[in-house]
Structure 1
């Protein structure tokens, strides 16, 4: 990730980092929600659960991701725009259109296998958008004196009853970040996540979990700062226990209460 961005002001620099962090959290949540869907669809007797996870993924995309991609698509000033701005505006618009289309395609699927395929295409579209928004679109906007990132981006969608982790009971515990090491826990290897967005990605992945489900966090150090931040932002929401306690590798079971 390029952290050396010359923003138009210190406030815009702070807003840029906040926006990048938010996108990292969104990416983590999307990975978990898609993993929930894949896990439920793989259970032949869990058609209703697959539909529930399908709805949770579509709902999150419509309430959190599409407002973000739509805001960036319309962010660049139309008058006096540079060639670069016009190109980025077109790129952002294309991403927004693909995400909207993929979400609609997922919403109408009825067969679990088709839900999984549509969910995968939605995740691909979202991942491409988040990568280019993080590296190209947001930095360009942060340098544009005619734009305020703090005012541009919509506020995060509030948590509601029925949101991930509140009332759903999926077939298995999902995070689409790796293989399984502990029964019912999908592995999230922090070593492959860029350091600048590591904590935000993990927090997003945890927020996508359903009650009683979790992830197996893998790290090359004891993640005490992460655990302190998690308890500060979500006190008592997750049960954490060490599966492996160093000295070269740490594995933590993190289950949502």
Structure 2
């Protein structure tokens, strides 16, 4: 363990770290999607529409179900602790704000109208997770009357049930998105990829050098998930991201072509083209 983890038993210590890692993945994926939306609004309105739709879908399939599972599995145990009661009530209120921001994203008539709400959603979610990581999870892990391991197991079971219920709708959405992409290709739009392998000036850039290490890879995953087929993303890193490249290929085999545009010494720039 890189930091001291206080818990009533080793299992809860491990569970706390796993929960924090899951939070980092959610925050990173959200940050990547929001970054791509804010960039595409100014550069590529057509891509921005698809990124906006993907962001709304991500919130509906991952972010909001996570919040609901927390309220059902984790929050009641923490609310019974006098020192955490007001904190939990405040966090439940933040869940309502997160839901309202997602509703605003969903109702936005155009991606440009959703940009401010998307950024607000990212900031609020990151602050929310910081409170959970720094206060709620440690309180539950340190309490001998509570098993954080069991609470998280219940939470994950609820998430799995929610995911199963969404599978049919997701399959339908994928079919509709595939039809839209075929139509886009037939109209001759290249989305910034000319086929020559060189960088297009409209390619959005994601500079991860200032992104916190805990969410850096997840931010890249979220950004890559956000860009539509036929478009590209330029990644800027402070070193050659070979482990990241291996993770991307393992996660989505054969989906992205990679071209090095710059190889250090101060920055590495790589162009990911979504095939």
- Do residues 120 (structure 1) and 119 (structure 2) align? yes
Q: Answer whether contact 1:24 1:204 (CA < 8 A) is retained.
A: no
Closer, same or farther: CA 119–77 of 1 in aligned 2, 3 Å:
closer
> Any idea what SS the aligned residue of 1:255 has?
strand
**What residue number does 1:85 align with?**
84
Cα distance, 1:246 vs structure 2: 1.9
Contact kept, 8 Å, 2:50 with 2:228, in 1: the verdict is no
Greater shift after overlay, 223-232 or 119-128? 119-128
Q: Which has the higher helix share?
A: 2
Deviations 1:133-152 (A, max 9, x none): 34333333443424332332
1:143 aligned residue: 142
Q: CA deviation at 1:61?
A: 0.8
1:95 to 2:94 alignment: yes
Aligned length: 245
Write the distance in 2 (CA, Å) between the matches of 1:13 and 1:33: 31
Q: Give the distance between the partners of 2:78 and 2:14, measured in 1 at CA.
A: 26
SS in 2 for 1:222: coil
2:236 counterpart of 1:189:
no
Larger radius of gyration: 2
Q: 2:260 aligns with which of 195, 220, 242?
A: 242
Distance in 2 separating the partners of 1:43 and 1:79: 45
Determine whether 1:152 maps to 2:147: no
Change (3 A) 1:206 1:220: same
Question: 1:222 Cα shift?
Answer: 1.5
Could you say what secondary structure the match of 2:209 adopts? Answer: helix
Aligned to 1:233: 251
Unaligned runs of 5+ in 2: 193-198
Identify the residue that residue 21 of structure 2 maps to in structure 1.
Answer: 21
Q: Any conservation in 1 of the 2:28–2:219 contact (CA below 8 Å)?
A: yes
Contact 2:209 2:238 in 1 (8 A): yes
Distance 1:122 1:134 in 2: 18
The answer to whether 1:200 aligns with 2:218 is yes
In the TM superposition, residue 52 of structure 1 has moved relative to its aligned partner by 4.5
Residue equivalent to 1:70 = 68
* Unmatched 5+ stretches in structure 1: 174-180
CA distance 1:222–1:152, change in 2 (3 Å): same
SS in 2 for 1:185: coil
Rounded to whole Å, the distance in 1 between the matches of 2:36 and 2:45 is 15
Is 1:133 aligned to residue 132 of structure 2? yes
* DSSP-derived class of the 2:12 partner: helix
